[in-house]
Structure 1
Amino acid sequence: MKNVRWIAAWMLLVLLCGCSDNESVVSVDMKKRETIDTRQSTPAITYAYLPQYAHSVSYDRHHLLIAYLRQKTGLNIKQVFPESFNEHMRMVSQGKIDISFTNPYVYVITAHRYGQKVFAQIVESYGNAAFRGQIICRTDNDAIRTLADCKGKRVIAVDMTSAGGFLYPMGYFFQHGIRREDFSELSFSPGPGGKQEKVVLAVYSGQFDVGLIREGSLNVVADKIDIGRIRVLATSDWYPAWVYSARADVAADVVAKIRQALFELDENNPEHRPILEKADFRKVIPATDRDMAPVGNLMKTLGIDWNG
């Protein structure tokens, strides 16, 4: 009982010491309540660059573009980073990617499987709305001097759904009477991201005899290896360049704002030039499914089923 009285006296003393004659008493009405909305006022629009290169390259190439699109459209656009080509497509199917920047091969697949809609296409840095694949080997590999020498060799490609790093070079092999079964081995670049670089490095190290890459990928690794030791054995035909597409249920006005902002990028505008140079393209132009027909036709030629 004495303890209780002592505690009560101590608390009273603290309260008395904490107040002064000059301080006003603040009355708080606990009956008045306000609900705070902790949700974001503007839901994020997710944007993904198909991970042909390392995530650091994807970010470096597109972070200025993302900032421009946010400012121009007023949309809360957020770049996300799938670990692989397959994960990118899976995230599209799950509604986790709204706007995709992909090769046209992946677009054709996601269009048939999930209703993806193309709305734009880039003009590459060299001025074409098209690009090519390449077949590479080491310059000192005396066993490979012609395309026919690739028969019986170990081949590595970027990914089963890579356009420049698989589909286009395989189309070139097909035109010259060489089929997949003619190789002693056909493997694909392992692990997440950076797949183009990994193919070049696998050939450079001698792990594989032949590599399939998109044209321009050698420049990405020029600071890592002596690319003079890599020989371009052959270059494929031209096929459609990379495209922008949206999931079927992305609001039409959202797609329209992003499409218009992309179309307004002008390499002669000093504010836009750094954005385009980083992204490694010249401009963005309209595109439809009709423009993607050469890719679909090549898939049919090679017996590739877009439904998986």
Structure 2
Amino acid sequence: MEKRLLAALMWAMALVGGSVAAEPVYSFGVVPQQAAAESALRWTPLLRYLERRCGVALRFKTAPDIPEFERRLAQGEYDFAYMNPYHYVVLGRKQGYRAFAREKGVRLQGVLVVRKDSPIRDIHELDGLELAFPAPAAFAASVLPRMQLQQLGIAFTPHFVASHDSVYLSVVRGLYPAGGGVVRTLNSAPPDIRDQLRVLWRTDSYTPHPLVAHPRVAEAVRRALANALYAMDADPDAADILRNLSMAGWEAGKDEDWDDLRALPLDADMAPLGH
């Protein structure tokens, strides 16, 4: 009797489950500037906040490294994605990703960092040295500093590591005399790493990372997320979330905002620069 009752119950549950359409879960890809566990720790609270405000289900996604993130981006694997500007103007357009938000009130600027006790005080002292960078297409932390070092006539050998955090750790450990990063990830690096580093030089500044939506995402869903993001800096409940991301807030972003990058001689393959 119990077996028959259990079978009937399971059949009924399957019947009901099959008659109800599953709620869509939207993937939210984040460029791996930091280790996956660290990125998840910082971004998941934002996703939970947006779920509560918008009534949609979001799943955090990243990749083991930036090249793999680029591959997944080019395949359109993410419904929403926080990507670097180079990814947007060169790779994102192939899938029709549409920018709708960006970090509020900031410009994206790369930095070269050295150990605090390094004798290097001038950018030209890097001539002829081996330098650490994230992946070749990491825009502000890799593309910009390499491009501008070349423009300054400074020869260098680039070595590419897994993430911004890997650059900072490599410099602290003395594996490289200097490395590329950005102010936001430097500020959010572990204190025992950050406090051993000094900013040697800063690049020119550009429009920051876009938050984009894939064309398959319904306009109503995209608009709901956008409105929730734009209002975060005025919401006391969001203060800790933004602080955890080292952000002041979000503002509207439109495609032409990234025309400053399109004016640069960016190579779609972004072959490593250096000598």
TM-score range, shorter chain: 0.7 to 0.9
Deviations 1:214-264 (A, max 9, x none): 124333344333734x33221112211121101222222221221122122
* Counterpart residue number, 1:253: 220
Distance 1:289 1:53, change over 3 A: same
Is 2:171 aligned against 1:160? Answer: no
Q: CA deviation at 1:171?
A: 3.7
2:85 maps to which of 97, 104, 112: 104
Deviations 1:1-36 (A, max 9, x none): xxxxxxxxxxxxxx9xxxxxxxxxx9x99xx97734
* Counterpart residue number, 2:161: 189
Secondary structure of the structure 1 residue equivalent to 2:236: coil
- CA distance in structure 1 between the aligned counterparts of 2:240 and 2:147, rounded to whole angstroms: 35
- CA distance in structure 1 between the aligned counterparts of 2:100 and 2:270, rounded to whole angstroms: 22
- CA distance in structure 2 between the aligned counterparts of 1:291 and 1:272, rounded to whole angstroms: 26
Query: What is the correspondence of 1:194-205 to structure 2 with a 5 Å cutoff?
Result: 195-205=163-173
**Contact 1:47 1:80 survives alignment (8 Å):** yes
Q: CA deviation at 1:285?
A: 1.2
- CA distance in structure 1 between the aligned counterparts of 2:48 and 2:25, rounded to whole angstroms: 13
TM-score (norm 1): 0.76
**Contact 2:136 2:270 survives alignment (8 Å):** no
Query: What is the correspondence of 1:143-158 to structure 2 with a 5 Å cutoff?
Result: 144-158=120-134
- CA distance in structure 2 between the aligned counterparts of 1:223 and 1:140, rounded to whole angstroms: 16
* Counterpart residue number, 1:304: 267
**Structure 1 runs not aligned, ≥5 long:** 1-14, 16-25
AA of the residue aligned to 1:187: H
* Counterpart residue number, 1:4: none
* Counterpart residue number, 2:240: 274
Percentage identity across aligned positions? Answer: 23
Q: CA deviation at 1:158?
A: 1.1
Q: CA deviation at 1:85?
A: 1.8
**Contact 1:92 1:247 survives alignment (8 Å):** no
Calculate the aligned-residue CA RMSD, in Å: 2.7
Deviations 1:133-176 (A, max 9, x none): 1112234444x432222121011101112122112222432442
1:233 maps to which of 200, 204, 224: 200
* Counterpart residue number, 2:111: 134
Deviations 1:189-223 (A, max 9, x none): 13xxxx11111111122211221111243333443
Distance 1:272 1:225, change over 3 A: closer
AA of the residue aligned to 1:109: V
Distance 1:247 1:306, change over 3 A: farther
**Contact 1:164 1:215 survives alignment (8 Å):** no
**Contact 2:27 2:60 survives alignment (8 Å):** yes
Structure in which a larger fraction of residues adopt helix: 2
**Contact 1:196 1:217 survives alignment (8 Å):** yes
- CA distance in structure 2 between the aligned counterparts of 1:55 and 1:249, rounded to whole angstroms: 26
Q: CA deviation at 1:44?
A: 0.7
**Contact 1:109 1:306 survives alignment (8 Å):** no
Ranges of 4+ aligned residues in structure 1 off by more than 4 Å: none
Q: CA deviation at 1:48?
A: 1.5
Deviations 1:257-293 (A, max 9, x none): 211221222x343222222222221221111121111
Distance 1:83 1:222, change over 3 A: closer
- CA distance in structure 2 between the aligned counterparts of 1:68 and 1:147, rounded to whole angstroms: 42
